[in-house]
Amino acid sequence: MATLSSPIHQDQVFINFRGKDIRHGFASHLVDALKRHNIKVFIDTDEQKGRDLKHLFKRIKESSVALVILSTGYAESKWCLDELKVIMEQEEKREMTVIPIFYKVRTGDVKKQKGVFGNRFRRRSEKSSHEEMEKWQVALKAVSNKFGFTLDNNRPFREICSRLLFPFRSQSLSGSFSKWFVGFSSRRKSPSSV
């Protein structure tokens, strides 16, 4: 059995997102698409209710890939920001591949906490310590510096999910899933607009 100090890295995707913004829309379509391709997915609804947050952090540490879906309300959530901090720590230790998905937000607004995203982040500061805010700012900047996807408002969820999963169509996922994500994170292209 894994302990909090010695995680087992699985071919599991941890999805970090603001449920209020996208749980019953984009996130549910993405989870369904990943599962249809036999990819193990973990989202917070899979966690037993009433458990301490450290158990969710354990699930992050057990995963080999994190999809961080940044939306306009993302920065309002202490939960999302705390998860992001742990995700970026795992990535810094090279124990996780992190892929940001900018869902109806601009990369620069996340990176510099500007616009609607920035306003909501500043509102969070009224309820948080200076130390927490600094750590979250570092994590937001780091995730914004990664290559990822920018999703516009004009495409249906099914088409967006299809584009995100395109590399999986022609290969067996059982051994290549982590390799694709690792390859994805090392590509030297600008963030794609899906």
Residue 16: strand, helix, or coil: strand
Inter-residue contact 98 to 68 (CB < 8 Å)? yes
Over residues 31-70, the pLDDT tens digits come to: 888 888 788 888 876 665 666 778 889 889 999 889 999 9
Does domain 10-177 fall into CATH 3.40.50.10140?
Answer: yes
Is position 83 annotated as part of the catalytic site? yes
* Site of tokens 């997102």: 17
Q: Residue 176's pLDDT is what?
A: 44
Q: Residue 155's pLDDT is what?
A: 66
CA-based end-to-end distance of the chain: 39
Residue 184 has pLDDT above 70, yes or no: no
Residue 188 — pLDDT band, cuts 50, 70, 90?
A: very low
Inter-residue contact 84 to 139 (CB < 8 Å)? yes
Inter-residue contact 149 to 100 (CB < 8 Å)? yes
The dihedral sign for the CA sequence 167, 69, 57, 134: positive
Any idea where the domains of the chain sit in the sequence?
10-177
Tokens of 63: 């995963």
Catalytic site residue from 47, 62, 76, 83: 83
Report pTM. Answer: 0.79
Specify which residues 10 forms β-bridges with. 63
Q: Residue 191's pLDDT is what?
A: 43
Mean pLDDT of all residues belonging to the chain: 78
Contacts (Cβ under 8 Å, ≥6 apart) of 126: none
Tokens of 84: 């992001």
